[in-house]
Amino acid sequence: MQGVLGESNKAWHSTRMTEDRMVSREQLPEVLDRASVLGEVWQHFPENMFLIRVDGPDFVVEAANAKMQELFAQDCTGRRLHDILPWHVAEEVVAHYRECLRRNAPLRYEEHAAFRNAQGKEKEGHWLTLLLPVHDGQGAITHLFGVSQDVTELRLARASLERYNRDLEAVIEERTKALNQANRELEEANRRLETLASCDPLTGVGNRRHFQARAESEMERARRHGSPLSLLIFDLDGFKRINDESGHAAGDTILKRVTETAQATLREADLLGRFGGDEFVVLLPQTTLAAARRMGERLQARVQDEAGVSISLGAAGFLADDTHLEPLVHRADAELLAAKRARARR
């Protein structure tokens, strides 16, 4: 072993240093000049160390340290790589050796191999290898010196971490989808709750709370721009009698029919709401009181024709000092009561 190392050392010096840069033995630290130190390194180095002889097209193991012998469970000295490893594995290894020869320079690479050692045990791992070409006195490459660090545990840990990350990403993706679905369901539930809170469940138009909020917003707009705004309020004549004589189901049908007729008569910008029972209100933006009364007359005629029931109606126009909806409703309701009394006297 010492002879091989000595010859390799001489060849390295002869090709890597010119005479004027050659370092004499007297200048080397004493500890590195002892063959016993190199022997100790070779014998006890914790990674694979090997010297490969370039033998024409073949590569022959000229020396292998104890760690390398342990890996193969045999003395590899004097044997071709193709005699030690499965053919396809040897070809992959030799390809790196040929590349090092081609470059005539150190080569670092990572390799993966799977094989059975001399004892028949399965061996598989990853190695990080450094190859150095060794030259003779004429500069020809005679050997390849290599060190292979076993990085199998590192690669397995990395693969395990990557699997864990993939699994974690899959869990996160699944939970994100579930969360998004839950959010969509929550939003839909909130929309349904908002609908229930703002709409009359029988007729589908806005309830008193919804109508009041929208109406006061329109009142503020009318006040700000000085635009006209009017309100109609109406109820069904004889509705109590319909419920008493025909039942509440018949009364509900009449209410739905009246609602549909009113919606078909009103403009898109108008707001229809049910205040409760058989009482409805209509907010008419950009509408004078006179125009609102004409709309009320059309509404009465169409409800009579299409729903088969008469309605009594009152109207009121927005005034600048109406700070809330109540005064407007109160004036329209007073007119409605007057109309009902007049109808009762006829």
> What are the pLDDT digits (tens) for 190-246?
888 877 778 999 999 999 999 999 999 999 999 999 999 999 999 999 999 999 899
**98, two tokens:** 């040929």
Tell me which fold the domain 208-345 belongs to.
Alpha-Beta Plaits (3.30.70)
Which amino acid is located at 35 in the chain? Answer: A
Give the C-alpha separation, 199 to 211, whole Å.
9
3-state DSSP helix/strand/coil percent for the chain, to nearest 5? 55, 25, 20
**Sequence-ordered list of residues with C-beta below 8 angstroms from that of 276, at least 6 positions apart, any chain:** 208
**DSSP designation for 23:** P
- Per-residue pLDDT tens over the stretch 101-136: 999 999 999 988 887 777 778 878 899 999 999 999
CATH of 2-150, one of 3.40.50.720, 3.40.920.10, 3.90.650.10, 3.30.450.20: 3.30.450.20
Q: Does residue 319 sit in helix, strand or coil?
A: coil
To 10 degrees, what angle do helices 2-16 and 35-44 make?
110
Give the C-alpha separation, 130 to 111, whole Å.
11
**Using CB atoms within 10 A of its CB, is residue 136 exposed (0-12), middle (13-18) or buried (19+)?**
middle
**DSSP designation for 206:** B
End-to-end CA distance of the chain: 133
**Sequence-ordered list of residues with C-beta below 8 angstroms from that of 316, at least 6 positions apart, any chain:** 230, 231, 233, 289, 328, 329, 331, 332, 335
Q: Which residues pair with 76 in a beta bridge?
A: none
pLDDT of residue 19: 38
- Segments making up each domain of the chain, as ranges: 2-150, 151-198, 208-345
**Sequence-ordered list of residues with C-beta below 8 angstroms from that of 329, at least 6 positions apart, any chain:** 231, 233, 281, 316
Q: Which residues of 13-36 are buried (b: 16+ CB within 10 A; e: fewer)?
A: ebbeeeeeeeeeeeeeeeeeeeee
Helix (H), strand (E) at residue 338: helix 325-345
Cβ atoms of residues 253 and 244 within 8 Å: no
pLDDT of residue 211: 94
- Residue of 310, 322, 146 whose CA lies nearest to 220: 322
Q: Which residues pair with 146 in a beta bridge?
A: 50, 131
Give the C-alpha separation, 98 to 107, whole Å.
10
Give the C-alpha separation, 330 to 73, whole Å.
105
pLDDT of residue 346: 67
Sheet architecture: strand order including 229-236: 271-276, 279-285, 229-236, 311-317
Cβ atoms of residues 285 and 269 within 8 Å: yes
CA-CA distances (angstroms) from residue 93 to 97, 146, 193? 7, 12, 71
pLDDT lower than 50: segments of the chain: 1-29, 31-32
122-135 and 107-116: which strand pairing? antiparallel
**304, two tokens:** 């009579």
